[in-house]
Amino acid sequence: MSTPADLWHFARPDLASRYLQAFDLGLVSARGLFARRRMGKSEFLKHDLLPAAEAAGYAAAYTNLWDDTDHPGQAIAAAILSAVQPKGLARFWDDLSTPVRKMKAGAKLPMGVEGSVELDLADKEKLAVPAIQAALQLTDKSRKRLVLVLDEAQVLANPEHRQVAHSLRAGLDIRKAGIKVLFAGSSEAALREMFSRASAPFYNWAPVEPFPLLGDEFVVAIVAHIKRLAKQPLPLAVAQQAFRKLKETPEFFRWYVERYLLYQEQGPEAALAHTLTRVHDDTGYAKTWKELGRPDRAVLLLAAAGVQDLYGAAALKQLRELLGTEDVTPSLPRTSLRRLTGPRMQAMARVDHGVYRFEDQEFEAWVRSRRTVD
């Protein structure tokens, strides 16, 4: 799997090697990594881990399940096929999408996959199960082991994808020696739930750990690159301060560098002010807020204000005041938090009973600046 060169990419070969060595030892066949959005996780996976895997003799497959949240099964099957049999990709889908409208249980499917349920081939999500099974069977014929990277893997935790998740788990279970899987996600709570909930298809299947974030070494490398390009080099101390003010978020820092290089005459302070404004404009917080119901907004306001026990009597009293109604019971924050921590919203993460934190610190700061639920 090749990706275009990025002159500003901060390579992390040692980290990529560490993950591959863990797979090579055979002690684990899968692991989960989480980091909030814009922290460089996907860039590392595509530009460091996958090329390192290919150099080590693996076939490498990558898909970001957010690219098609309605049909993750087809995305996974296509990623596997692109890695192990790219020239047969078109024929694979042609064979699987046979004109027969219905195939009953036990029917013979293309590629030798046996149907276990009635299959409506016009329904993409039902087609995904035999597609995954067929793609995994093709890996059995490959001479190479496969590294499969599922980015934003928490999409598989959605109830509507349960059948796909079960099929994938079953197929991977019998191929642990030949297929190594890295589940990556931007929601710690959702990713942990995938592997810790007893009823979940991937229960207890992979350890979950934080993705190592970029720090000063990243800033030093970027500043050195700026020095080679800019008429007015950016002082390291100034760049480090900007990185901290941007919540040590690599993508935001790159926005800052871009602004500085284009408008060097305005200075680094102006570049930082412009970037901070862009951060709040581009992240869509106002749109998210507008789409939330008033109870959800009220719960977010309390959490941003530092309220710890969101089910307690004090919190319920504040919710009544914010919402202007006495009709507030413990079920209101419970229902709101179920939505706010769910795989679709991913605004909050549960850290203890009744205790939650924001997944996005910038969103927390934005909510904290609000005064009312309206």
Q: What pLDDT score does 200 carry?
A: 87
pLDDT value for 89: 59
pLDDT (0 to 100) of residue 129: 85
- The alpha carbon dihedral of 118, 140, 166, 37 has a sign of negative
CATH T-level assignment (fold) for domain 13-210: Rossmann fold (3.40.50)
- For each of the chain's 374 residues, which pLDDT tens digit applies? 444 467 889 999 999 999 999 999 888 899 999 998 889 999 999 999 999 999 999 999 999 998 877 788 889 998 998 898 877 655 665 565 553 334 333 444 444 444 433 334 334 556 788 889 988 998 998 889 999 999 999 888 887 888 899 999 999 999 999 999 999 998 887 888 889 888 889 999 999 999 999 999 999 999 999 999 989 999 999 999 999 999 899 999 999 999 999 999 999 999 999 999 888 776 678 888 888 999 999 999 999 888 888 888 899 999 999 999 888 888 999 899 888 887 677 788 776 666 788 877 778 888 888 878 88
CA-to-CA distance for 231 and 345, rounded, in angstroms? 44
Residue 221 CA neighbour count, 13 Å, CB half: 13
Long-range pairs, 114-123, Cβ under 8 A, ≥24:
121/96, 121/97
Longest Cα pair distance anywhere in the chain, in angstroms? 71
In tens, the pLDDT along 308-330 reads 888 888 999 999 999 998 888 88
Distance CA 219, CA 223 (A): 6
- Tokens 């090697």 locate to 17
Q: What are phi and psi of 103, to 5 degrees?
A: -130, 125
Beta bridge mates, 61: 148
Say which residues have a Cβ less than 8 Å from residue 250's Cβ, sequence separation at least 6.
Answer: 10, 38, 39, 40, 43, 214, 218
What amino acid is encoded at 216 in this protein? D
Instruction: State the CATH class of domain 285-368.
Output: mainly alpha
Q: Are 246 and 276 in contact (CB under 8 A)?
A: yes
Neighbours of 287 (CB within 10 A): 8
